[in-house]
Amino acid sequence: MSEASTIIRIRDLKKVYHVGEVDVPALRGVNLDVERGEFLAVVGPSGSGKSTLFHIIGGLTPPTSGSVVVNGRDVARMSDAERTEMRKREVGFVFQKYNLLPTLTAYDNIAIARHIARGSPELDGDFRQILELLGIAHRLHHKPSALSGGEQQRVAIARALVNHPAILLADEPTGNLDSRNSEAVLTLLRDLNKRLGQTILMITHNPEAAAYADRIVHMRDGRIVEFDNLDQT
């Protein structure tokens, strides 16, 4: 994997949480390279460190030590303000809970993220392709209460992509969906990756969901213990 093609490069990453007088290690020396345009799934039991890894990559929390170079910049060396700016422009987040504002339409839920990052709520023409791919272009004027769970998650994905982030981080994105909607959302993520070249990192406990990725990273006790390469051709 060449330097130019690597969008995330992690070396000897450690994170220790301080709970009272007790130190609780969450990451114990993680090393990982993610290629630009890759769809990577991170799996592991509760407490394995996968969520902490995502929070550090996304600039939500600083590491204790080690380096995390995201799109050419070391997150570990960023100030709080720089990490905030990175979250606005370079990283999109999709969570198990949709976190849509109930009083706003789907369009406004998406546009507000654009306004926060860019100062304008207008969606650019290129973004219409994403809306069509997600299958929600005809549902933009509905509020969340009028949308199904699968539609709400698609709106949340659109909101995460509205600023054309280099990386999409998805934390259990199908956790609140039934099997039919889960399959639809996972297929959409794979299409975003294959058709638009979107780099995606997804946390999941579900091996069937992980199988949609190009590669699976298995974590346990704060370490990466195994890699699986999948053939999606």
Q: pLDDT tens for residues 145-165?
A: 999 999 999 999 999 998 889
Residue 214, in any domain of the structure: yes
Domain with 56 in it: 37-61+79-229
Q: Angle, to 10 degrees, between the axis of helix 149-161 and the axis of helix 125-134? A: 150
Q: How confident is the model at residue 4 (pLDDT cuts 50, 70, 90)?
A: low
Extract the tokens encoding 68: 């995390």
Question: Does the pLDDT of residue 2 top 60, yes or no?
Answer: no
Q: Distance of CA 167 to CAs 39, 79, 208, 215, Å? A: 10, 20, 22, 16
Is 9 a member of any domain? no
Number of domains in the chain: 1
pLDDT above 90: percentage of residues in the chain: 64
Single out the residue of 183, 161, 184, 199 nearest to residue 39, CA to CA: 199
Residue 135 lies in a domain: yes
How far apart CA 34 and CA 30 sit, in angstroms, is 13
- pTM score over 0.75: yes
Q: Is residue 46 pLDDT above 60, yes or no?
A: yes
Instruction: Tell whether 52 is covered by a domain.
Output: yes
Asked if the structure places residue 10 within a domain, the reply is no
d(CA 229, CA 210) in angstroms, rounded, equals 11
Looking at residue 46, which CATH number applies to its domain? Answer: 3.40.50.300
174 inside domain: yes
pLDDT, average across residues 80-88 = 89
